[in-house]
Structure 1
Amino acid sequence: MKVGHAGYRGSEVPLPIEVLSLILSYTATLYNHPTQYTLWACCLVSRSWYAASISHLYAHPLLENRNFDKFSRTICPPVSAHKPRIGLENFITRLDMSGLAYESSKSLTARLLRRTRNSLESFAAPAVTFSIACLAPLSKCAHLQLLDLSCDSYDMTLSQLLDSIGHLSSLTTLKLPRNALRGRCNLTSKSHWPMQLRNLQVSDYLFDDLESWATLFESWSNSLRSFKIAECKGYASLHCLEPTFLRVDTITSFGIGLSLHDDAFPFHRILKTFPNIVRFTLPAYQAEQLAKSSGVGEFMSDIQSGAYLQHVDPESLVEVLILTEQRPPASTPPDLSSEILRRYVHKFPRLRRLEIPELYAYPVGKRREYEMLNDELERRANADNRATSGLYLC
C-alpha cells in the first residue's frame, strides 16, 4: 500500500503493522463467511499483512464439516506428523463447535481444548463428541467467559461439571447440557458455581420435585442475575415450585421457551418465586394462551393464569416484557391484538417496554390503539429511560 501524494514517484512507504491491525479489527467485528474470506485474502497480500491479519482470522473460526478436518490438523496435528507448533492456537478466543457432531471425536475435542486453553474465552461444545474426558482440559481454560454445553445431553452429572469449572473466576455465562436437570438434584455442599457467574441457561429436562429445585437455588452464587429455560419437556415440572418455601431474590431477568407438551404455564408461581424480575421473556404464542384462558377459583387461577392477568400486581418489578416468535409446529399464529397486550400493561404497573414480533402484530386498522398503548408505556418511564420505553415491533 502506497502512502502519500498521488504524484509521488519514490519508494512505497509501508503501513506499520499496528495500523494495519487496527484497520482489520473493524473488519473482524462481523463473524460471517465474507469476513473470513476477506481476512484470508489479507493474509496473502504480504508478510506484514499476514502478521496483521492472522490473529483476526483465527480469533473466531467458522467451523463446518467441510473445513473442520483441515482446521483440526492445523491446530492439533497427529503425533506421527512430527510438525512443530506454530502458535496459531494462541490466537483462538472463540471456539464454536456447536454445528459439528461426528466430524470430531471426544479425544480430539479434548485436545483442541488443551491446545487453546491459554487464549480461549468462549466455547460451544459439539453434539455427541463432548464427554467427561473433556472436563480436565476445560478446567484449565482460565480466561473462559462463556461456556455453551446446550447442544446435546452428555454422560456427566451436574456435580461433576461444577467440580471441574467451579473455580473459573472469569466465567459469566453458562449454558448447561440438556440432561443437567434430569432426575433429582445431586449437588452436595462441595459443589460450587463459578463466583462471577451472571447468566445461566437450562433446557429440555427440568426437576419435577420441590426438594431438587430448593437444592439448586440454594447452591446458586449471589452473582447470578439471569435465568433462562430455553425449552423444556413440559411446564408441568414448574408447577412444583412453591413460592411460600422457595424465593430467589437475585434473579432480575427470566426467560422461557416453548414446552414440548401444550400444558399451562404457571405464570403466578414464576413471578412469586423470582419476585425481583425486571426483564421477562416469553413466547408470544404462550402469552396469547395466558391472556385468553380463564380460571375459576384460586387453584384454577394458579394453573390457568389468564384469570391472574385480570388483577394488578402492585408488587411486581417487571419493566420489560419480550414476546418471541416461538410457536409449536402447525399451530395458528398468535394474534397480539391491542386488547391482549393491554392486559399485560394493566397487570404490571411498572411495565415501560413491550417488545412483540412484527409478524404477529396487526396494526392495520388499529394503529391508533397501538399508539395509545405506546404512549402509556412512555408515560410510565422516567427521564433516564424514556427513550428506550414504549411498544416495539421487532
Structure 2
Amino acid sequence: MTSAPPIHLPTEIVVQIVAYVAANESAQASLFTCCLVSRQWYSCAITSLYENPRIDTGASFKGFTNTICPPIGARKSKWNLGALVRRLDLSTLVHHSSPSLTARLMGRVKDNLEVLIAPRASFASNSLPALSKCSKLQLLDLSLVATPVPFEDLKKSLSNLQGLHTLRLPQSTSITGSDSFSIPWSPKIRRLQFSGHFSAAPMRSFPWPPSLTNLTLKNCDDLSLANLSSLMCSPSLSRTLKRLTISGQNRRLSSESISSILALIPELSFLSIPGDMVDGTFFELLCHIGIPTLKVLEFGYPAVDPAVYFTTEGLLKALEYGLPNLSAVGFAEVFCSDDETLDDDAVDNFLLDRMEKSNSLQPSIGNVQSGVYYV
C-alpha cells in the first residue's frame, strides 16, 4: 500500500493558521510544533515563536538562553534568532540567571526589542551598555530590580533611545544630589513610575522628562509632606502632567501629603490616591481650590488600613463645588464591601444625573466608564 502524497498548502494559508495559533494564550508549545512540520511551516512560525517568548520557569529560561546566546563551545544557530524577540518578560525569574548572563542576553536581543521587563536579582550596571543599544525599545520596566543601579548611569544609557515612551524606575533608585540633572532624558518619555530614595533639597530642581503626562509614585522610601512637596513643585511638571497615581506602596505617606497635591498639580485629568489617606480636609481644600480639569478621581488600595476616613456627604460636596467636570469616581473594592459609611450608589447617581444634564461630557474617559467603578 502506498501512502498518499503530502498536501501542500499555500504559504498564505499557513500564515493564517500560525496567526490563529499565536493568538492563543498557551501558544508557545504549539508554535514550536509548527516549526517542526516542514521548512515552509518553520519560516512562517519561527517569528511568532520568538517575538514574545514565555519564560516563567528556570527550565524555560535555560532553554531560551542556550538557543539565543549558547555557551562558549556549543553549537550555534546560523539564524540570528535574538533579532526576532520583541517582548522579553523576565519578571518571574529570581535566581535563575546572573548579571553577566542577563547582560549577554540583552546584547543578543537588542536589534528589535520593544518591551523589556527586567528580573529582580540579575539586572545590574553591566546590562546598561547593551540596554543603550536597544534602539527600538518602547517600554522599560525596572520596577522589580533590587540591585542598586546608579541613576546617573541609567539615565545616560537611556538618553539616546528615541522611541522609549514608558519607564518604570528600579525600587533601588537613589537620588541624593544633582549630578544626573544635566543628562537629558529619552525625548519621548510620557509615562514614568518614580521609585526609590531621594533627598528633598535637590528634588526642588529635578528636571522631569519634558513630555511627561503620566506619573506614578510607587515604592518610594519617603513620601512625607516635605518630600512629596519638593518632588512635585516643578513648574514644568504642573504644566505637562495630566495623570497622577500615588500607590499605597510608599513609605511615610500621610493625609497631609495627599492634600498637598491639590495645590501643586492644578490641571490634572486623572488622580488616583490611597483611599485611607483621604479625610475631610482633602474635600474642603477641593471645594476651596477647585480642579475643573479633573475627569476621574480614584480611591485606590489602602496604604495602611482598609477603611475610609471621609463621608459620602463630604465627597458629594466636593463634586458639586470643586470638581464641576468630574465624570467618574473609582473605589478599591475593599472600601465598599462592609463599610456602611460610604454610599457609592449616591455618588453614582450624582454623576449620572450630572452627565444627563450636560451635553459636554462623554460617556467614558479612556477605559473608565462614567459614574462609579471599582478597582
Please provide the CA RMSD for this pair: 3.1
- Which residue among 345, 349, 363 is the counterpart of 1:386? 363
Deviation at 1:325, TM superposition (A): 3.2
Q: Secondary structure of 1:79's partner?
A: coil
Whole-angstrom CA distance in 2 between matches of 1:336 and 1:40: 55
Query: What is the aligned partner in structure 2 of residue 322 from structure 1?
Result: 298
The equivalences for 1:207-218 within 5 A come to: 207-209=198-200, 211-216=201-206
Deviation at 1:225, TM superposition (A): 1.1
Q: How many residues align?
A: 361
The equivalences for 1:137-152 within 5 A come to: 137-152=130-145
Structure 1: which 5+ residue stretches go unaligned?
A: 1-9, 295-304
Q: Secondary structure of 2:373's partner?
A: strand
1:272 pairs with 2:263:
yes
Encode CA deviations 1:74-101: one digit per residue, 9 max, x unaligned: 1110122142442221211011112212
Query: Does the C-alpha gap of structure 1 residues 154 and 147 become closer, same or farther in structure 2, counting only changes over 3 Å?
Result: same
Q: Secondary structure of 1:70's partner?
A: helix
- Which residue among 239, 243, 246 is the counterpart of 1:249? 239
Query: What is the aligned partner in structure 1 of residue 213 from structure 2?
Result: 225
Q: Secondary structure of 1:391's partner?
A: strand
Query: Does the C-alpha gap of structure 1 residues 364 and 27 become closer, same or farther in structure 2, counting only changes over 3 Å?
Result: farther
Query: What is the aligned partner in structure 2 of residue 350 from structure 1?
Result: 325
Query: Does the C-alpha gap of structure 1 residues 342 and 204 become closer, same or farther in structure 2, counting only changes over 3 Å?
Result: farther
Query: What is the aligned partner in structure 1 of residue 165 from structure 2?
Result: 172
Whole-angstrom CA distance in 1 between matches of 2:209 and 2:230: 22
- Which residue among 219, 223, 226 is the counterpart of 1:235? 223
Question: What amino acid is the match of 1:147?
Answer: L
Whole-angstrom CA distance in 2 between matches of 1:308 and 1:244: 21
Deviation at 1:223, TM superposition (A): 1.5
Encode CA deviations 1:268-292: one digit per residue, 9 max, x unaligned: 4323322221111222333xxx135
Deviation at 1:46, TM superposition (A): 4.1
Whole-angstrom CA distance in 2 between matches of 1:319 and 1:76: 49
Superposition TM-score, scaled by structure 1 size: 0.80
Query: Does the C-alpha gap of structure 1 residues 80 and 185 become closer, same or farther in structure 2, counting only changes over 3 Å?
Result: same
Question: What amino acid is the match of 1:251?
Answer: L
Comparing 334-343 with 65-74, greater Cα deviation is found at: 334-343
The equivalences for 1:177-188 within 5 A come to: 177-188=170-181
Report the identity percentage. 28
Contact 1:113 1:137 in 2 (8 A): yes
Q: Secondary structure of 1:249's partner?
A: helix
Query: What is the aligned partner in structure 1 of residue 186 from structure 2?
Result: 194
Whole-angstrom CA distance in 2 between matches of 1:92 and 1:356: 38
1:203 pairs with 2:182:
no
Query: Does the C-alpha gap of structure 1 residues 364 and 127 become closer, same or farther in structure 2, counting only changes over 3 Å?
Result: closer
Comparing 380-389 with 362-371, greater Cα deviation is found at: 362-371
Query: Does the C-alpha gap of structure 1 residues 220 and 262 become closer, same or farther in structure 2, counting only changes over 3 Å?
Result: closer
Query: Does the C-alpha gap of structure 1 residues 265 and 23 become closer, same or farther in structure 2, counting only changes over 3 Å?
Result: farther
The equivalences for 1:304-383 within 5 A come to: 305=282, 307-309=284-286, 311-328=287-304, 331-334=305-308, 338-339=312-313, 341-346=315-320, 347-361=322-336, 369-379=346-356, 382-383=359-360
1:21 pairs with 2:15:
yes
Query: What is the aligned partner in structure 2 of residue 132 from structure 1?
Result: 125
Encode CA deviations 1:238-263: one digit per residue, 9 max, x unaligned: 14458597863111111111133463
Contact 1:135 1:161 in 2 (8 A): yes
Deviation at 1:227, TM superposition (A): 1.0
Deviation at 1:55, TM superposition (A): 1.4
Query: What is the aligned partner in structure 2 of residue 4 from structure 1?
Result: none
Query: What is the aligned partner in structure 2 of residue 89 from structure 1?
Result: 82
Query: Does the C-alpha gap of structure 1 residues 335 and 275 become closer, same or farther in structure 2, counting only changes over 3 Å?
Result: closer
Superposition TM-score, scaled by structure 2 size: 0.84
Whole-angstrom CA distance in 1 between matches of 2:40 and 2:315: 58
Whole-angstrom CA distance in 2 between matches of 1:102 and 1:108: 12
Query: What is the aligned partner in structure 1 of residue 32 from structure 2?
Result: 40
Deviation at 1:377, TM superposition (A): 4.7
Question: What amino acid is the match of 1:197?
Answer: I
Contact 1:363 1:370 in 2 (8 A): no
Structure 2: which 5+ residue stretches go unaligned?
A: none
Contact 2:331 2:374 in 1 (8 A): yes
Encode CA deviations 1:334-392: one digit per residue, 9 max, x unaligned: 58974464255243222112222345325999675244223145247645622442222
Comparing 117-126 with 150-159, greater Cα deviation is found at: 150-159
Contact 2:244 2:271 in 1 (8 A): yes
The equivalences for 1:266-305 within 5 A come to: 266-286=257-277, 290-292=278-280, 294=281, 305=282
Deviation at 1:148, TM superposition (A): 1.1
Comparing 364-373 with 153-162, greater Cα deviation is found at: 364-373
Comparing 192-201 with 383-392, greater Cα deviation is found at: 383-392
Contact 1:97 1:125 in 2 (8 A): yes
Encode CA deviations 1:189-236: one digit per residue, 9 max, x unaligned: 2x010111111111242x341x422332xx333221111112323321
Query: What is the aligned partner in structure 2 of residue 160 from structure 1?
Result: 153
Encode CA deviations 1:54-81: one digit per residue, 9 max, x unaligned: 2112111121223111111111101221
- Which residue among 52, 57, 67 is the counterpart of 1:60? 52
